[in-house]
């Protein structure tokens, strides 16, 4: 196992530790790529030691600017974004951002590229750094012109991508799946067959909004990704379907607003969860969610938070 070796087992006698894709986490709560910066931005708001770890903003080999504004919009029960993969580039991340984080923080890098070779090169580069506990492949960004979602929507391209990255790294490898597909379980099966250690789902749902007075799309990019509570039932459905289809562990993402939502993902089969859009609304929420999950486990008579995974009962009737 790599990553943090456990940490607190407390929260009133409940063992909060989980293992996800070969990474030991002190609790199942991660923060989602693109919603938690490079970690240090959130240090004034929450103890980084109170969460299991975080997935850094998706990286490219070179620094990259995002789309021009407007690139964010509020929607009913959600948020639309077309930031694109704006990031400092892999070298600045490894040289400047990573060293600024506390030693005990579990950091997953998120890899992005326009072709499998670029993803693989990035994965190889971050794997050289001892602080990287795992690599999440972003095969699902819904609003970049090339890369991302193309891979996440085509099983043949996805297989090629996972194979290339798998060959480039021995670190825990997680594939972040796109919800913008007909059969998510098929995509997860492809990842498992190509040697991924886990899958994360879901990325944002491709969406758009219109300004009627201006008769224009709200976002300069026209298309964006919908996130927040609006997508949670979709994400839950997909996690449940993937859990029936594969044996590799799942990280549940999408519209989590509190511990109860996080528990829903675990009951549907997730070993860990990621908090995304909520970080913008309440930058300290993720730490409280970890405690809330442990409290739920105690109330329900579980001794270990890990035992919540897949503990959904059959429907009545
Ligand atoms: C502003 C913003 C930027 C994001 N950037 C990334 C990114 O760089 N890489 C990635 O894999 N996902 C990115 N995401 C998707 C989130 O990680 C997450 O999968 C999605 O928002 C669903 O979770 P949520 O509803 O809890 O936000 C981004 C989401 C938002 C809102």
Q: Which tens digit of pLDDT belongs to each residue from 212-232?
A: 999 999 999 999 999 999 999
Instruction: Please check whether residue 299 lies inside any domain of the structure.
Output: yes
Ligand 1 atom closest to Cα of residue 278: 26
What is the pLDDT at residue 144? 67
Pocket probe mutation, ligand 1, options 30, 34, 63, 221, max atoms within 8 Å of Cβ:
34
Mean pLDDT of the chain: 93
pLDDT > 70? residue 210 = yes
Q: What is the pLDDT of residue 5?
A: 36
1, pLDDT greater than 60:
no
Q: For residues 181-190, give the mean pLDDT.
A: 97
How large is the average pLDDT for residues 285-295?
97
- 205-214 mean pLDDT: 96
- Give residue 148's pLDDT: 66
What is the pLDDT averaged over residues 297-316? Answer: 96
- pLDDT reported for residue 145: 62
pLDDT digits (tens, 9 = 90+) for 114-162: 999 999 999 999 999 999 999 999 998 776 666 667 788 999 999 999 9
Q: How far is the CA of 267 from the centre of ligand 1 (A)?
A: 22
Give the span between the Cα atoms of 89 and 65, in whole angstroms: 10
- Across the range 9-24, mean pLDDT stands at 87
| Ligand 1 center–CA 55 separation, angstroms | 10
Ligand 1 center–CA 95 separation, angstroms: 24
Average pLDDT over residues 180-206: 97
Output the pLDDT for position 12: 75
Q: Which domain CATH number covers 81?
A: 3.20.20.70
Q: Considering the domain boundaries, does residue 316 fall inside one?
A: no
Average pLDDT over residues 238-255: 98
Nearest C-alpha to atom 28 of ligand 1 is from which residue? Answer: 34
pLDDT at 11: 65
Q: What is the pTM assigned to this prediction? A: 0.95
Residue 315 in any domain: the answer is no
* Mean pLDDT across 86-102: 97
Q: How far is the CA of 183 from the centre of ligand 1 (A)?
A: 21
Within 13 Å of residue 114, how many CA atoms lie on the same side as its CB?
7
Check pLDDT > 80 for residue 306. yes
199 within some domain: yes
Provide the 10 A C-beta neighbour count for residue 205: 20
Q: Work out which ligand 1 atom sits closest to the CA atom of 232.
A: 25
**Residue whose CA is at the smallest distance from ligand 1 atom 19:** 203
CB 282 within 8 A of CB 289: no
* 256-266: average pLDDT: 98
Give backbone dihedrals phi and psi of 19, rounded to 5 degrees, phi first: -120, 130
pLDDT value for 4: 40
Residues 235-242 have a mean pLDDT of: 98
How far is Cα 116 from Cα 175, in angstroms, rounded to an integer? 13
What number does the ligand 1 atom closest to the CA of 200 have?
19
Answer whether residue 69 shows pLDDT above 60. yes
pLDDT of residue 3: 38
- Strands of the 72-75 sheet, one edge to the other: 72-75, 78-81, 224-227, 205-207
Whether 12 is in a domain gets the answer yes
* Cα–Cα distance, 159 to 181 (Å, whole number): 15
Q: How many C-beta atoms lie closer than 10 Å to residue 131's C-beta?
A: 14
Q: Say if 269 falls within a structural domain.
A: yes
Residue 120 within a domain:
yes
Asked if residue 64 has pLDDT above 80, the reply is yes
Task: Tell me, yes or no, whether 31 lies in a domain.
Answer: yes
Please provide the size of the chain in residues: 317
Residue 293, domain extent: 2-308
Number of domains into which the chain is organized? 1
């Amino acid at each position: 196992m790599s990553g943090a070796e456990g940490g607190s087992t407390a929260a009133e006698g409940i063992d909060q530790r989980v293992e996800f894709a070969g990474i030991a986490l002190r609790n199942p709560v991660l923060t989602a790529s693109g919603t938690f910066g490079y970690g240090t931005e959130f240090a004034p708001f929450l103890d980084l030691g109170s969460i299991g770890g975080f997935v850094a903003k998706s990286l490219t080999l070179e620094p990259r600017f995002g789309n021009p504004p407007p690139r964010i919009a509020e929607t009913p029960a959600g948020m639309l974004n077309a930031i694109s993969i704006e990031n400092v580039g892999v070298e600045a991340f490894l040289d400047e951002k990573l060293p600024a984080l506390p030693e005990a923080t579990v950091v997953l890098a998120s890899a992005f590229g326009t072709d499998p070779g670029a993803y693989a090169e990035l994965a190889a580069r971050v794997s050289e750094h001892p602080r990287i506990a795992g690599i999440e492949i972003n095969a699902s960004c819904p609003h970049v012109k090339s890369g991302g979602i193309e891979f996440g929507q085509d099983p043949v391209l996805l297989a090629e991508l996972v194979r290339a990255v798998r060959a480039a790294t021995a670190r825990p490898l997680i594939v972040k799946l796109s919800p913008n597909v007909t059969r998510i379980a098929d995509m997860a099966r492809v990842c498992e067959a190509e040697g991924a250690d886990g899958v994360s789902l879901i990325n944002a749902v491709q969406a758009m909004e219109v300004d009627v007075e201006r008769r224009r799309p709200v976002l300069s990019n026209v298309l964006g990704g919908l996130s927040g509570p609006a997508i949670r039932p979709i994400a839950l459905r997909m996690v449940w379907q993937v859990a029936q289809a594969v044996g590799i562990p799942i990280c549940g993402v999408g519209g989590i607003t509190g511990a109860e939502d996080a528990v829903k993902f675990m009951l549907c089969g997730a070993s860990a969860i990621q908090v995304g859009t909520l970080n913008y609304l309440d930058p300290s929420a993720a730490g409280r969610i970890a405690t809330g999950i442990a409290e739920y486990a105690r109330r329900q008579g579980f001794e270990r938070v890990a035992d919540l995974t897949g503990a959904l009962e059959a429907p009545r009737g």
